[in-house]
Amino acid sequence: SILLHRDETTSTDYSIIFNTLQKDTANSEKEAVEFIYRQLRNAEPPDEETARGIIDKLFFSDKRYDLGDVGRYRINKKLGLNVDPDIKVLTKEDIIDIIKYLIKLVNSKTDVDDIDHLSNRRVRTVGEQLYAQFGVGLARMARTIRERMNVRDNEVFTPTDLINAKTLSSVINSFFGTNQLSQFMDQTNPLSEVTHKRRISALGPGGLSRERAGFEVRDVHYTHYGRLCTIETPEGPNIGLISSLCVYAKINKLGFIETPYKVVRNGQVALDEPPVYLSAEEEEDKIIAQANTP
């Protein structure tokens, strides 16, 4: 619950909450839950338990909702939380801290996120996309198995009668055959092959389109330094949307691009220490200098 003291409600900082409470017709938790149900389903809830169940399934059930590793990591980082990374659903603390952050944002006490900053963009590898397609195939197979078991209610059957591998293989084949990003590998020479494998596209499913992409998305951003090559990009409609990884850049387990830096101690470069790989978010509070800086 959010508690507002009388003296706070008159201040401009909390005016957004005060105005919301004035407009809100719900006077109890039960009324609020039923109001949310009506907004989501456009119908009256049969009872309070059903209304609560819809909200729980929407955000708080791990069977229906999944923030993923990246979602939990970003929420913890953004809001300064210490929630266990294994909790992949929203918690009450998350929602309260999100509201607090939005109040700060409305009152210009924090900065708006830069959508082109590489801490807000990540690489979805082929393996991750294939993993998602595999999940779709398994879900279809499970539905087919359930339907066949319902039809053959009293019959004796074996697993081979129920499982059809074509359901899964057709999804995998369509992923490689019809996906927008699926291409034949450039094998003119070994160098062109490596270059093709290191190419990164902002197009495709869940990405941008050439028509919608504006100048800001295509432009060079300061977080590209050491991560994405600022020169190697095609001319024409794909400019800035298709890039290449820098020579020493690598992608971490969350999909963020990291670049290596040498540590400077007491004004001297620590040449005997291994380089430290930092993502765009991790380097924000660091002082970065060129290698030839005296």
What CATH number corresponds to the domain at position 75?
A: 3.90.1110.10
DSSP assignment of 163-224 equals: --THHHHHHHHHHHHH-TT------SSHHHHHHHHTEEES-STTS--TTT--HHHHS--GGG
- Can you give the pLDDT at residue 1? 46
**pTM score, whole prediction:** 0.82
Q: Is residue 23 part of a domain?
A: yes
Q: Please, what sign has the CA dihedral across residues 43, 49, 53, 59?
A: positive
Q: Is residue 101 part of a domain?
A: yes
Amino acid at 54: I
- Can you give the pLDDT at residue 4? 53
**Cβ proximity of 249 and 258 under 8 Å:** yes
- Can you give the pLDDT at residue 108? 85
Number of domains in the chain: 1
Q: Is residue 97 part of a domain?
A: yes
**Cβ proximity of 196 and 186 under 8 Å:** yes
- Can you give the pLDDT at residue 164? 86
Q: Is residue 35 part of a domain?
A: yes
Q: Is residue 65 part of a domain?
A: yes
**Cβ proximity of 225 and 233 under 8 Å:** no
Count CB atoms within 10 A of the CB of residue 33.
20
Provide the domain limits for residue 99. Answer: 6-106
DSSP assignment of 85-101 equals: TT--S--HHHHHHHHHH
Q: Is residue 52 part of a domain?
A: yes
- Can you give the pLDDT at residue 2? 52
Q: Is residue 148 part of a domain?
A: no
Query: Could you give the angle at which helices 126-151 and 166-178 cross, rounded to 10 degrees?
Result: 150
**Cβ proximity of 119 and 221 under 8 Å:** no
Q: Is residue 267 part of a domain?
A: no
Query: Which stretches of the chain score pLDDT less than 70?
Result: 1-12
- Can you give the pLDDT at residue 217? 93
